[in-house]
Amino acid sequence: MIIEQLDEKFTLHRLWEQSDPEAYLDAIAPRIRGLANGGHHVINAALLDRLPALEIISCFGVGYDHVDAAYAGEKGVIVTNTPDVLTDEVADAAVGLLIATLRQFPQADRFVREGKWRQGAFPLTASLRERTIGMVGLGRIGLAIAHRLEAFGVRVIYHSRTPKHGVGYTHYPSLIDMASDADVLIVTTPGGAGTQHLIDAQVLEALGPQGVLINIARGSVVDEPALIDALQNRTILTAGLDVFEDEPNVPQALTDMDHAVLLPHVGSGSVHTRNAMGQLVIDNLTSWFSNKGPLTPVVETPYPSKND
């Protein structure tokens, strides 16, 4: 659907189909005014400097840490993403992953399929009951998760750089302090240099032996070797992960662990939501080239710009 609409509305250059993408890019670079980016390719300063006519980068996804948005802003290039349209889907996935991780539903499924039920009952599991949920970040997705968790009767607290106005959850300026008071950490904060390995060995130790880590944000936010060590040594109870540091390459140490739940980055992975995300990519480009401005510019490239 996305490719067809791009073909219909614009002159589409399929860089991914070229046998020599670099040579092809050199040939078309002076004419490129817009980029539709699926999130799999890094758009850094070097690439931006090769595209002198570039006006807009329309990103597929709410995260855009693969784009040097600050440098794009310096060059007058608008960057857009796809917020809101995936919020509910990712929030649903996060709650589902939390329950599946605590109650070991994937393990129970394997237990039945492997015929082990005939030999005895599946072991009792941990529970969501009486847990305190610590949200690492309370943006659109974090708030949607927190609102869903209220229905389960659990306490929700959160850590962010500044308190969120208009919410009743307790704010923790210190992540370590929140981890000490929480039984579950759900990571929803953006990726990038500012949150690189935010969840480290010290945070995991503070979370404690009954603690659960859920990450549906970016793999870079979690120190993966420290997490592996914490899981192996039972520093924390378990983890549910939808994202990893080097996707799709998941460490063997994680895949060998039966008490962790691992998903292949499917938080927004429904037909409905991916179509909505793709449509917003197209709508941003269409609006821009119709001289109506971008629909969802990121904070680094506001529209109109401060200089306008």
Assess whether pLDDT exceeds 60 at residue 307: no
Assess whether pLDDT exceeds 60 at residue 50: yes
Quick one: pLDDT at residue 41? 83
Q: Annotated active-site positions, please?
A: 218, 247, 265
Assess whether pLDDT exceeds 80 at residue 255: yes
pLDDT in tens, 111-138: 999 999 999 999 999 999 999 999 999 9
What does the block give as tokens for 126?
């941990």
pLDDT in tens, 270-298: 999 999 999 999 999 999 999 999 999 99
What does the block give as tokens for 189?
């904060």
Quick one: pLDDT at residue 39? 72
In percent, the amount of the chain with pLDDT more than 70 equals 99
Assess whether pLDDT exceeds 90 at residue 254: yes
For domain 2-85+270-289, which architecture applies?
3-Layer(aba) Sandwich (3.40)
pLDDT in tens, 133-173: 999 999 999 999 999 999 999 999 999 999 999 999 999 99
Quick one: pLDDT at residue 142? 98
What does the block give as tokens for 74?
């310096």
Fold agreement between 2-85+270-289 and 87-262 = yes
Domain boundaries, the chain: 2-85+270-289, 87-262
Assess whether pLDDT exceeds 80 at residue 306: no
In percent, the amount of the chain with pLDDT more than 90 equals 96
Quick one: pLDDT at residue 96? 98
**Bridge partner residues of 215 (DSSP):** 187, 241
Assess whether pLDDT exceeds 70 at residue 88: yes
Q: What is the dihedral of CA 167, 173, 176, 177, to 10 degrees?
A: -70
Q: What is the dihedral of CA 219, 183, 112, 148, to 10 degrees?
A: -80
pLDDT in tens, 191-246: 999 999 999 999 999 999 999 999 999 999 999 999 999 999 999 999 999 999 99
CATH code for 87-262? Answer: 3.40.50.720
Provide the mean pLDDT of the chain. 96
